Amino acid sequence: MTIVMTGATGFLGSRLLRAMLATGTAPVTVLGRDGAGQPLAARLESALRACGATASELLRARDRLTAVPVDLTLPRLGLEEAAHRRLAEGADAVWHCAAAISLVGTADTLAPVNVTGTRHLTELAEHTPAHAPFVHTSTAYVAGGAPVGTGLSFGDAITGYEQTKQQAEEIVRDWADRHRRPALVLRPSLLATEHPVPETAAQQPLSMLGAGLRTLVEQAPPLLRRALLRKRAGVPRVRLRLQGDPASHLNIVPVDYAVDAMLRLARLPHPPGSTAYHVVHPEETSARVLITAVGEILPGVELALRPAVERPNLIESRINPVLANFLQRDWHSRADAGAPLRDTLPDLPAPAAVDSAYIRAAMNVRLPAPR
């Protein structure tokens, strides 16, 4: 029997795959796309290498890893009926981690993968053995401020991504209820890592923020660039107003902690029907800590967080859209509902503290030394 998995080339999925291969013995069949001039098998190896897999890990992975190119948006995933049936009947579990992730994409653009793709995976799961669970990776932000416990309550979705992930969870819940099968819904918050991530690898929100800051600095005129990167005695710093709620919070969870928690949760017995868990950091991070981290990257800048920025200057007009999704809403209220992981997993090691140093490392930005 094998684990069937989607999304294994993504930021979270590649790390889940690496941990599955390191800690278990079951073979893993990965469903995904050929792309970027590479077949799926090569993309998997690149993804594992990018998240730290050693040469010996990659060698062992080749004995247990099977890549099956599919298209999640097509009926039967684009497979022949017999191949689709064999894939399902040999599965000991289905892990659905694939998603189209965007803070600005619309529900219409994200639905083919996030909604239709999930429906097609549950159709595959209908033919798996009765004991095989369906493990679905969602997001903490489908819940809004609603108290969720281990249920599937939803809050008000704001982005297209949240809307489509709500719809995907509804599909999973309906599948589990109709077939009286166990479905585990895992809801991580903002994933991050303090370890370097190659530019060609799948990114996470904070590294995308770091890339935006790097582009801003690189495009600045030389004199302004020097002012941003260096704090000089007796010279006023560049003052920038950032638009956001000074009282807002983020829930940033280290990806290694999330992977450990998710694998432990999957090993627990679950009754028929859907069970959801928020995979979040027990301590929220103030938006001011994020501002401090940005200030440490740009020591020549004095940052001020303001609910509104009137008549923004050139830099403010460029940087505020980059930070908007982090600072203009209270992510805290959208991530902290539900039973704490420590109640469900009392032996789960505590995550790393998410302070300004962690955020700075997670931004994964390397700026040129000022001249």
Q: What is the pLDDT of residues 89-112, one digit of tens each?
A: 999 999 999 999 876 678 899 999
Token pair for residue 335?
């991530």
Q: What percent of the chain has pLDDT over 90?
A: 59
To the nearest 5 percent, what fractions of the chain are helix, strand and coil?
45, 15, 40
CATH classification code of 2-192+252-279: 3.40.50.720
Collapsing DSSP to helix, strand or coil, 174 comes out as helix
Q: What is the pTM of this model?
A: 0.91
Q: How high is the mean pLDDT of the chain?
A: 88
Q: Which residue has the higher pLDDT, 284 or 260?
A: 260
Looking at residues 249-272, what average pLDDT do you find? 94
Dist. CA 56–CA 293, nearest whole Å = 36
* Residue 258 φ then ψ, to 5°: -60, -45
CA-wise closest residue to 350 among 341, 361, 339? 341
Contacts of 346-352 with CB under 8 Å at 24 or more apart are 348/257, 348/260, 348/261, 348/264, 349/257, 349/260, 350/282, 351/253, 351/254, 351/257, 351/281, 351/282, 352/194, 352/254, 352/257
| The pLDDT value given to residue 51 | 95
Collapsing DSSP to helix, strand or coil, 126 comes out as coil
Dist. CA 260–CA 239, nearest whole Å = 42
| The pLDDT value given to residue 367 | 77
| The pLDDT value given to residue 98 | 96
| The pLDDT value given to residue 217 | 86
Q: 290-330: per-residue pLDDT in tens?
A: 989 988 998 888 888 888 899 998 888 888 877 766 776 66
Token pair for residue 54?
């050693």
| The pLDDT value given to residue 151 | 46
Quote the strand ranges of 60-100, DSSP E. 65-69, 91-96
| The pLDDT value given to residue 368 | 67
One-letter identity of residue 101: I
CA-based radius of gyration for the chain:
22
| The pLDDT value given to residue 111 | 95
* Residue owning tokens 């801003």: 216
One-letter identity of residue 93: A
Contacts of 363-366 with CB under 8 Å at 24 or more apart are 363/206, 363/207, 363/209, 363/210, 363/213, 363/293, 363/297, 364/196, 364/197, 364/203, 364/206, 364/207, 364/210, 364/211, 365/207, 365/210, 365/211, 365/213, 365/214, 365/297, 366/214
Q: 155-187: per-residue pLDDT in tens?
A: 566 788 889 999 999 999 999 999 999 999 999
Q: What percent of the chain has pLDDT over 70?
A: 90
Sequence ranges of the domains in the chain: 2-192+252-279, 205-250+284-332+346-362
Q: Which residue has the higher pLDDT, 246 or 192?
A: 192
Say if residues 156 and 106 touch (Cβ distance below 8 Å): no
Half-sphere exposure of 248 (CA within 13 A, CB side): 21
Q: 121-156: per-residue pLDDT in tens?
A: 999 999 999 999 999 999 988 865 444 444 445 556
Q: Which residue has the higher pLDDT, 335 or 217?
A: 217
Q: How far apart are the first and last CA of the chain?
A: 59
